[in-house]
Amino acid sequence: MMTKQIWLNLPVKDVAKAKKFFWKIGFSFNEQHDTPSSTCMVVGESHFVIMLFEESRFASFSQNQLTDTETSSEVLISINAVSVAEVDELAQKVEEAGGKIFSPPTETQGWMYGFGFADLDGHRWNVLFMDFSKME
C-alpha cells in the first residue's frame, strides 16, 4: 500500500484561539507535535489528525492563496456522531464556544440527523448521526 496515514491541514488565523475552540467542543490534541505556529488535533476513535497551521505558514507550504471562508468553501469536514443526543450536545458546545451554526440540528432523509457549523476561521463542519436501520 502506498499510504500509511492521511491527515488534514487547515489554516487558522490564531492557533491558540482555534485550539481553545476545538478543546471546548470536545476534541483532543497531541501536544508533542505543537509548535508556536501549529497544533495537532486528534479526532475520533481512529485518531484522525487535523493539523491547524497559522495562515502564513500554511500558505508557504501550500504555495497557493487561501480560500476566503466568508464567501466560499474548499472542503466540508464530516464527523460521525453516535446518537441524536450527541449531535444536539455538540451543537450546543459549538454555540457556547463561539462557532456559527449554519444548519441547525434536523432529521434528513428519514435516517440521518445532524447539523452544520463554521469554526472560528470559517471552515465548515458537518456532524451526522446515521441510523442505517432506517435507511431505505
CATH number of the 7-134 domain: 3.10.180.10
**What pLDDT sits at residue 5?**
80
Of the pLDDT bands very low, low, confident and very high (cuts 50, 70, 90), residue 1 is: low
Number of residues in the chain: 136
**What pLDDT sits at residue 37?**
95
> Where in the chain are the domains?
7-134
Among candidates 78, 18, 29, 28, which has minimal Cα distance to 53?
18
The answer to whether residue 136 scores a pLDDT higher than 90 is no
Grid coordinates representing 120 are 472560528
| Each residue's pLDDT tens digit, 78-111 | 999 999 999 999 999 999 999 999 999 999 999 9
27 burial type by CB count under 10 A (0-12 exposed, 13-18 middle, 19+ buried): middle
Q: What is the pTM for the complete model shown? A: 0.90
Of the pLDDT bands very low, low, confident and very high (cuts 50, 70, 90), residue 2 is: low
| Each residue's pLDDT tens digit, 29-87 | 999 989 999 999 999 888 999 999 999 999 999 999 999 999 999 899 999 999 999 99
The answer to whether residue 124 scores a pLDDT higher than 90 is yes
d(CA 18, CA 14): 6
70 burial type by CB count under 10 A (0-12 exposed, 13-18 middle, 19+ buried): exposed
Grid coordinates representing 82 are 453516535
